[in-house]
C-alpha cells in the first residue's frame, strides 16, 4: 500500500546514453540516478531486466530469473583487467538515439566471452571466490539456465521441444554428459550472470543511498523458449511432446481490434498449488532482491486469463479461464511477508480483479491518456484517482504524450484542453502537472514526456513484431531549465523535498 506522495521516471536502462550501442549499468546509469535526485524524483521504474527474446522484447526472456547480459558495463570489466582498451572501441554502426540490436548483440557477446576467458585463465584471481559463492547461492535457477543456454547454442536456437529426445525430456545421464563436455560454455553463462548481479547490486545500492527506489517489472507469463518451461514442464500446459496446448494473450482492446496473441505457454495452476506455489515464491523472492517495488504485468490474469488454442492466428478465438486468485498471493505473503507490488490492472477489468487487488491492498494504475475519450465520469481522469494508486501519463505500451496529442480526435483535444486548462502548446507539461496534483501517492512519468518528444520516440507498439525497444536519449536533451521545471512541479504538489 502506498502511503507517501512521490514521483519518478519510467526509463529502461537500454535507453540511457553510452558509447557502446545501448545504455547499460555503467557511468551513465549513475549519472541518471544523480539527475533523478536533482529533479526531485524518488522512483526509477524500468522494464523487465531479463534477457531479451523475439523482437528484442524484455517480456519474452529465456529465463524468469536471469538478467540481461547486454546491460553489463564492459568498461567495468576492463577495470577488472578482463578486457582491453581496444575491446571498448565502439562499433561504427552504433547509433546514439537508437539501439541497433543486430550489431549490439554479437559485439557485446564477443567481448563478454573474452572477459570470461581471461577471468577463468587466472585461477588465483581474488574474485574467483565471489564467483563460486554466487554460483552456489543461485544454483536453484542458475544451473538449469546455464545448461539451457549451452544446449540452445549447440542446437542453433531450435525450440527445446525439437532437441534430441533425451535432452528435451531432461534425461539425467544426457544432461550430465552435456555438463561434462561443455563445462567452459556453462561457466561462461554463469560468469555473465555473476557480472550482471554484482554490477546491478552496486547500482541499486548507489540509488538507494541517494533516496532513489527502483521499481522493477515482473511479466505474468514466461517465454516458451526458456529455461523455466524446459526445467519445469509439469507446471505448464504442454502436451506429451512438450508443445503448448493453449497460449496467452488478450481479447480485442484499446490497442488491437483482433486482440494480442502473446503466445506464452499458460500455467498449470493446479500443479503450482500442489507444490505450495514454490516456483512463484522463488520467482518473487528473486525479484524482491533486485527491486524495491515490483510492478506485476497483466495482474488481471491472476483473477482470470484469456486462453487461446495453440496454433491460432489471432487472439479472437480465446476464452476467459479462472486464475489462481487469492490462493497464490496468500502463499506469497505467507512466505515473503508484505508484498511491495503494483498491480497493472489495465484492460478488461471485472469486479473479481478489483476485489483481488483490494484484498491485498495493491495499488492499481491510472493512465491519463485514456481519460479524454468519454466524459467527466471517466475512471482515468485525475479527479477520480485515489491515494493507493500509481498515476501515469502513459506506459511503455502507449504513445508519448505529444504523440497521443498529435493523433487525438478533435473531441479528445477539446475535452483535454478544457479539463487541463491548456492551450495545447505545452500539453506534456500540462498533463504532468495534472497527475502530479492528483490524489495518487505515486506518479510515474515516461522520460520521453519529460523531454517533450513526439510519437517517433515511443518504446513499444503492442502487436507489432519489429521496431520496438529501440529508443535512447542523450544528455544534451536535458537542460537545467527542464530539470528545474520537473522539480518545481514535484515540490509544488508535495512529492519531493523543497528545492
Rounded CA separation 152/146 (Å): 10
Mean pLDDT on 112-131: 92
Q: CA triplet 248, 250, 254: central angle to 5 degrees? A: 155
Following DSSP, what letter does each residue of 376-413 receive, concatenated? Answer: TT-TTSGGG--SSEEEES--TTSPPHHHHHHHS-HHHH
Mean pLDDT on 118-132: 90
Note the pLDDT tens digit of each residue in 440-466: 999 999 999 999 999 999 999 987 888
367 and 346 Cβ atoms separated by less than 8 Å? yes
With a CB cutoff of 8 Å and minimum separation 6, the contacts of 393 are 367, 368, 369, 401, 428, 431, 432, 435, 445, 446, 449
Grid cell 563460486 in the structure block, residue: 132
362 and 342 Cβ atoms separated by less than 8 Å? yes
Mean pLDDT on 313-324: 94
Ranges of beta strands (E only) in 318-473 are 319-322, 341-343, 364-367, 389-392, 442-446
8 and 445 Cβ atoms separated by less than 8 Å? yes
236 and 265 Cβ atoms separated by less than 8 Å? yes
Bridge partners (DSSP) listed for residue 238: 244
pLDDT above 60: residue 498: no
Please pick, among 76, 144, 297, 449, the residue that the annotation labels catalytic.
297
Please pick, among 24, 144, 397, 430, the residue that the annotation labels catalytic.
397
CA dihedral 409, 370, 385, 430 (to 10 degrees): -50
Q: What is the pLDDT of residue 157?
A: 63
DSSP class of residue 83 equals: S
With a CB cutoff of 8 Å and minimum separation 6, the contacts of 338 are none
Q: Which helix (H) or strand (E) holds 306?
A: strand 304-309
Sheet holding 213-218, edge to edge: 341-343, 293-296, 213-218, 43-45, 6-10, 442-446, 389-392, 364-367
> Which domains occur in the chain, in start order?
6-363+441-448+465-492 (3.20.20.80)
Q: What is the pLDDT of residue 396?
A: 97
pLDDT bucket at 123, cuts 50 / 70 / 90: confident
Q: What is the mean pLDDT of the chain?
A: 96
Q: Quote the radius of gyration of the chain (alpha carbons, Å).
A: 23
Q: Taking the CB of residue 391, how many other CB atoms lie within 10 A of it?
A: 25
Please pick, among 24, 138, 217, 344, the residue that the annotation labels catalytic.
344
Share of the chain above pLDDT 90, in %: 93
C-alpha torsion sign, points 113, 115, 121, 125:
negative
Mean pLDDT on 393-419: 97
3-class SS at 294? Answer: strand
Mean pLDDT on 203-223: 97
Catalytic annotation present for 239: no
Length reported for the chain = 499
Query: In terms of DSSP bridges, do strands 246-250 and 260-265 run parallel, antiparallel, or are they unpaired?
Result: antiparallel
- What is the 3-state secondary structure of 100-119? CHHHHHHHHHHHHHHHHHHH
Grid cell 468519454 in the structure block, residue: 374
Rounded CA separation 154/156 (Å): 6
Mean pLDDT on 364-384: 95
Following DSSP, what letter does each residue of 162-189 receive, concatenated? Answer: GS-HHHHTT-HHHHHHHHHHTHHHHHHH
> For residues 183-197, b (16+ Cβ closer than 10 Å) or e, as one string?
eebbbbbbbbbbbbb
Note the pLDDT tens digit of each residue in 214-272: 999 999 999 999 999 999 999 999 999 999 999 999 998 776 788 889 999 999 999 99
Q: What is the pLDDT of residue 27?
A: 98
Rounded CA separation 246/469 (Å): 27
pLDDT bucket at 125, cuts 50 / 70 / 90: confident
Q: What is the pLDDT of residue 458?
A: 97
Catalytic annotation present for 273: no
Mean pLDDT on 319-342: 98
- Taking each helix axis from N to C terminus, what angle separates 480-492 and 27-38, rounded to the nearest 10 degrees? 50
Cell numbers at 427, concatenated: 500539453
Mean pLDDT on 390-413: 97
pTM of structure: 0.96
381 and 375 Cβ atoms separated by less than 8 Å? no
pLDDT above 70: residue 499: no
Catalytic annotation present for 397: yes
How many Cα atoms occupy the beta-carbon half-sphere of 454 within 13 Å? 3
> Among 126-130, 321-325, 488-492, 495-499, where is mean pLDDT lowest?
495-499
Query: In terms of DSSP bridges, do strands 364-367 and 304-309 run parallel, antiparallel, or are they unpaired?
Result: unpaired
Grid cell 544454483 in the structure block, residue: 139
3-class SS at 32? Answer: helix
Pick from 351, 108, 280, 349: which is nearest to 366 by CA? 349
Note the pLDDT tens digit of each residue in 29-83: 999 999 999 999 999 999 999 999 999 999 999 999 999 999 999 999 999 999 9
Q: Taking the CB of residue 138, how many other CB atoms lie within 10 A of it?
A: 19
Following DSSP, what letter does each residue of 203-249 receive, concatenated? Answer: HHHHHHHTTPEEEEEE-SS--SSSHHHHHTGGGB-B-TTS-BSEEEE
With a CB cutoff of 8 Å and minimum separation 6, the contacts of 34 are 210
Amino acid at each position: 500500500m502506498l502511503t507517501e506522495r512521490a514521483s519518478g521516471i519510467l526509463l529502461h536502462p537500454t535507453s540511457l546514453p553510452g558509447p557502446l550501442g545501448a545504455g547499460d549499468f555503467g557511468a551513465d546509469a549513475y549519472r541518471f540516478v544523480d539527475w533523478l535526485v536533482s529533479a526531485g524524483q524518488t522512483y526509477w521504474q524500468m522494464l523487465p531486466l531479463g534477457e531479451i527474446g523475439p523482437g528484442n522484447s524484455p517480456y519474452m526472456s529465456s529465463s524468469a530469473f536471469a538478467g540481461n547480459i547486454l546491460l553489463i558495463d564492459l568498461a567495468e570489466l576492463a577495470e577488472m583487467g578482463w578486457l582491453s582498451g581496444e575491446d571498448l572501441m565502439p562499433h561504427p554502426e552504433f547509433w546514439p538515439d537508437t539501439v541497433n540490436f543486430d550489431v549490439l548483440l554479437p559485439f557485446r557477446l564477443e567481448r563478454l566471452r573474452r572477459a570470461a576467458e581471461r577471468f577463468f585463465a587466472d585461477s588465483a584471481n581474488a574474485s574467483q571466490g565471489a564467483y563460486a559463492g554466487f554460483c552456489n547461492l543461485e544454483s536453484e535457477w542458475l544451473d538449469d539456465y546455464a545448461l539451457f543456454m549451452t544446449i540452445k547454442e549447440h542446437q542453433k536456437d531450435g525450440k527445446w521441444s525439437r532437441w534430441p529426445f533425451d535432452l528435451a525430456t531432461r534425461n539425467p545421464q544426457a544432461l550430465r554428459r552435456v555438463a561434462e563436455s561443455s563445462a567452459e560454455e556453462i561457466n561462461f553463462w554463469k560468469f555473465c550472470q555473476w557480472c550482471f548481479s554484482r554490477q546491478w547490486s552496486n547500482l541499486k545500492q548507489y540509488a538507494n543511498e541517494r533516496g532513489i527506489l527502483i521499481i522493477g517489472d515482473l511479466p505474468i507469463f514466461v517465454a516458451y523458449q526458456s529455461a523455466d518451461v524446459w526445467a519445469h514442464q509439469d507446471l505448464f500446459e504442454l502436451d506429451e511432446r512438450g508443445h503448448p496446448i493453449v497460449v496467452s494473450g488478450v481479447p480485442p482492446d484499446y490497442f488491437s481490434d483482433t486482440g494480442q496473441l502473446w503466445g506464452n505457454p499458460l500455467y498449470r495452476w493446479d500443479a503450482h498449488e500442489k507444490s505450495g506455489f514454490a516456483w512463484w515464491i522463488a520467482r518473487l523472492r528473486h525479484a524482491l532482491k533486485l527491486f524495491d517495488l515490483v510492478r506485476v504485468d497483466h495482474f488481471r490474469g491472476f483473477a482470470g486469463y484469456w486462453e487461446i488454442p495453440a496454433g491460432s492466428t489471432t487472439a479472437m478465438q480465446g476464452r476467459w479461464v479462472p486464475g489462481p486468485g487469492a490462493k497464490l498471493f496468500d502463499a506469497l505473503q505467507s512466505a515473503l511477508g508484505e508484498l511491495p507490488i503494483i498491480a497493472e490492472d489495465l484492460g478488461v477489468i471485472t469486479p473479481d480483479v478489483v476485489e483481488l487487488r483490494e484484498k491485498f491492498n495493491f495499488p492499481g494504475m491510472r493512465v491519463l491518456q485514456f481519460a479524454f475519450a468519454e466524459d467527466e465520469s471517466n475512471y482515468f481522469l485525475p479527479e477520480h484517482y485515489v491515494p493507493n494508486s500509481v498515476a501515469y501519463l502513459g506506459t511503455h505500451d502507449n504513445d508519448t504524450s505529444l504523440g497521443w496529442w498529435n493523433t487525438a480526435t478533435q473531441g479528445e483535444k477539446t475535452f483535454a484542453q478544457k479539463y487541463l486548462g491548456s492551450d495545447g502548446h505545452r500539453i506534456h507539461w500540462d498533463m504532468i502537472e495534472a497527475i502530479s496534483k492528483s490524489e495518487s501517492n505515486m506518479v510515474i512519468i515516461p522520460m520521453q514526456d519529460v523531454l517533450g518528444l513526439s510519437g517517433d520516440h515511443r518504446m513499444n507498439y503492442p502487436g507489432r513484431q519489429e521496431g520496438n525497444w529501440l529508443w535512447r536519449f542523450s544528455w544534451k536533451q536535458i537542460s537545467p531549465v527542464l530539470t528545474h521545471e520537473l522539480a518545481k512541479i514535484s515540490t509544488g504538489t508535495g512529492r519531493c523535498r523543497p528545492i
